Structure 1
């Protein structure tokens, strides 16, 4: 038995809303979306290899906490 079209539409909209909320929460804590990053690199810098997901995560963490920044920012 298949779901009515309106039920499927609701699920699709709910899924999109959930992704939007999750992406917003990640951005609030300084964690961008890896898929968006890879798409950006492939589109604007096709000659560069994108960072691995682990490297991307570490890069965002370092940027968030000022690692390597000479201005003196420290979390704790």
Structure 2
């Protein structure tokens, strides 16, 4: 018995999200929704960064912005 088209779409959607999440992690860009949920759960007194702030924070961490060791990608 074959899977329904709805089931296949859901499986494809889940697979695609996993691939995209993996690609983001490989380049140092975490999932904002996971970050925001973590902050709300473990630090309820803190406001999570906006999505733009989160992206910039991860970019700065990846390329060593503000790092006194002088790391540069290129």
TM-score by length of 1: 0.88
Structure 2: any 5+ residue segments left out of the alignment? none
Partner of 2:22: 24
Aligned length: 72
- Aligned-pair distance for 1:34? 0.7
Q: Which residue of 2 aligns with 1:75?
A: 73
Match of 2:35 in 1: 37
Question: How large is the RMSD of aligned CA atoms in angstroms?
Answer: 1.1
Question: TM-score, with normalisation over the residues of structure 2?
Answer: 0.91
Structure 1: 4+ residue segments shifted above 2 A: none
- Alpha-carbon shift at residue 72 of structure 1 (Å): 2.3
Residue equivalent to 2:6: 8
The Cα shift of 1:73 comes to: 1.0
